[in-house]
Structure 1
């Protein structure tokens, strides 16, 4: 805004006249009676200056139209670094819709070329981000978007970073990128055709949301590796029923704690669940996890409630209401009701 007003003598747009008058009035109010700037007045003028800037931006948005956010970003970007010549500045301001009493140079200056190139990149970036205005400073992108952004070579205009993502996402990126790096290094040593990938609890420390996506990411990684190897086999060790629900039961072996020698001597088939792929998690927990579907503490607490009811003791309703399983809660309430029926009236 200040730059526009400083060059006002050459700009012929009538709509900026009221803003120029307000700008000059603010400057006059900043000067003390002795003709020097009174810094004590700065705080009182801050609100008026902020309002002027907001009003000017609104008017400028109307003048520029839909491209306002991207053009302003491009304008701000090309202002970085050393100052430009007046002809270069005028060409950029002309691109923002300002008119001059004297015609600007038709030959594009370096600042104008930079502005045009930046604006083109911003339009392409807006398409990648599915945000025509690029109003946010931070975006979370997928793999495809990441590759497209890299191809734009944004430089200081924007960058891909892992600093703002969660620890789980960072762990996944580190894990799968490490696999990619290791395989690339392996192929440089020898043109191997087959790959056996062993992953020990790759889902460790991931919350349930990331665990649900883990096998999908692993599948995508395997598909990329198949472009480098003739065959790829993955062996994954996990305790997570969430991961197990993404594998068919034929692909799951339950380790029973025996040594390989004991298994060999007994010649017994490996244990497999009857349900896994796409099954409800409680079924997977029972079948694969070889355990109950609730914590031991909760199970013991419910057993205590049932035992007290069986012995005719009074149980507070709160202890029953806290039971999350509706079937168990209903059965416990039924037991309380039946116990009351059996009590003799006094």
Structure 2
């Protein structure tokens, strides 16, 4: 399956708009003549996209041109066609035959062999994925058939799997790091994890008036006692804080389980040792859950008895992870840092699940750049989606991956390698043939894509087919400034506004026949801050000629 072209009469700011997704052929549609045309383009050398990536299309344009709207159109046209009220045309290739599906109510004329389809059943097993690292709480309504792994959707209440909880990100990322696929794509793992946890349990109002209020108070008192023990090391502080929070959370949820509550209460209140120890109480929870076959919580696939085994030995695990308490800021929460050793078989994943279950705690990477976080987020999300139950992997006919703001959070060095890493890594995450459509503001990124892979949206979208989109742009290996000027609306400006205005002022002084003393002082000042060597040499020459 290969999507070739999508056209719509109207979608948001797009009018009589067509997007070409295939790189070796360029399609166009004229609604006035109902003529669908196809033009052959130069093929790409195999080292550009490789064998598994069929096409890569970048959509460029200034802010507000409609780049995200184009991705939304693609997703809805392919998987939510019933949502589109305006006439739409889709062209695709399937088993070496070209087909089109349309609701334009017009008879399509084509200058090449193509067959008509009255529905989109051919596309049923195509995986369409939408990814974006943008987190601004605005969500695209792409429908249930789009694999939406955008940050906005993952952290929204509309997502039952993640439930608006960023801690789930690190759970999926740790699963990814532990997989064979992660080692194959050769991304450097983060080095540190940060855990934040309340020092003490905070019984809710419901807990305080419940018949088990004394039990919740007992857990709090034991945590407070530990806080007063000077010999407690960082690992012990973290262990008792997490054990107490976990025990409190379990009892709050299962307080109707009288057998569980009574056994835990008996264990806590009968302890004769001065040492703070939640181990016997946690063992009671494990035994009760095992006997009653309670395996998970809040519908998540966590094996609670196995997690309790990790909690019972937390102090040992934390010591191996070189746990450290950050007490530089006064807070009601502990902040701990763990070293992350991806080559050792340590229970980082299980600990992240435990912290997620506590709810009053948080866990995340620390000491990594926003670019590294963006990379890890993108590839782990794609991996979990293509390898998860939501995909039609057993009978999939391919994947179309839409990436919005592909360069977001990436340092220029990371932008240099983005396309190469994406094209190299995707085949290792999935064996499916893949097409990529992305939006970007980065001239560095698009310098890796030949012109037949690009579509530039003008500031004003043409309203008729006789005024086509700007496609004749040169980017592959091109000068970065030339790319900026031709695709991102800089209109010849080579520097930021402040320096541009200042240099214009200096050039006006240099153009004068006579320079008064006060302006000569301005030139002298300019010679020390302007770093354009040509302009600087003219300034120095004019100063010396005085």
Please give the TM-score of this superposition, normalised by the length of structure 1: 0.47
Larger of the two Rg values belongs to structure: 1
Bigger helix share: 1
- Which of the pair is proportionally richer in strand? 2
TM-score using structure 2 length: 0.31
